[in-house]
Amino acid sequence: MTKSQIESEIAELKMDYINLQGDIEKLESTGHGDSIQKAEARLAKMEDRLAELNQMLVAL
C-alpha cells in the first residue's frame, strides 16, 4: 500500500468509528443490549485495524 492509500483507509475507518459510536449511544438509550455488544466488537476490530495501519504508516 502507498502512503496515500493508508491515510485514506485511516480516514475512512475514523469516520466509520465515529458513526458507530453514535449508533451505540442510540442503542443504549433504547435498551438493545445484544446489538450493543456486536457494535462494540466491531469497534474493537476497527481499533486493531487502525493500529495496524498506523504501524504501516510509520514503517514507510
The residue range of the domain holding 49 is: 3-59
Packing angle between helix 3-30 and helix 33-59, nearest 10 degrees? 160
**If pLDDT is split at 50, 70 and 90, which confidence band does 2 have?**
very high
3-state secondary structure of 37: helix
pTM: 0.85
Instruction: Give residue-wise pLDDT tens across range 5-58.
Output: 999 999 999 999 999 999 999 988 888 878 889 999 999 999 999 999 999 999
| Tally of domains within the chain | 1
* Helix%, strand%, coil% for the chain, nearest 5: 90, 0, 10
